[in-house]
Amino acid sequence: MKKHVQLILLLLTLGQAEWVAAHAVVTDYSLKATPIHANQRDKVELTFNSKIELSLSQIFLVRKGDKHELLQAENGTKQGQIIIHIPPLEAGDYAIRFKIFAADGHLTEDVIHFSVS
């Protein structure tokens, strides 16, 4: 009986580990250390824990009034890194909203809020 319980616990643990690794999760982003300055083109780097299918992903700039603008992005130099091109922005509060597909096909949606000064 004890061996059956241990086997079930092992299978549950392995199943959960696969489920956690299946989604692209942001592990770092450049806005933490480098703010965006008003009226200048800029770039934001997002780093994910897995490879990204950028051609199937969407990244939006969200402006006041919930106005969404599709942003251009490219793969960075590291696996799981993307570079987002930010247009010149006036001072204020914004967000980057993204729908990212991991290489295994799982969708991750999230929002990163930031301010421009």
Give residue 84's pLDDT band: very low, low, confident or very high (50, 70, 90).
Answer: very high
Q: Are 94 and 116 in contact (CB under 8 A)?
A: yes
Q: Is residue 9 part of a domain?
A: no
Q: Is 46 strand, coil or helix?
A: strand
Q: Is residue 10 part of a domain?
A: no
Q: Is residue 89 part of a domain?
A: yes
Mean pLDDT of 33-51: 96
Q: Is residue 42 part of a domain?
A: yes
Q: What's residue 105's pLDDT?
A: 86
pTM of the model: 0.79
Q: How many domains does the chain have?
A: 1
Q: What's residue 38's pLDDT?
A: 97
Range with the lowest mean pLDDT among 12-16, 27-31, 37-41, 98-102?
A: 12-16
Q: Is residue 1 part of a domain?
A: no
Give the separation between CA 100 and CA 24, rounded to whole angstroms.
Answer: 7
Parent domain of 63: 23-116
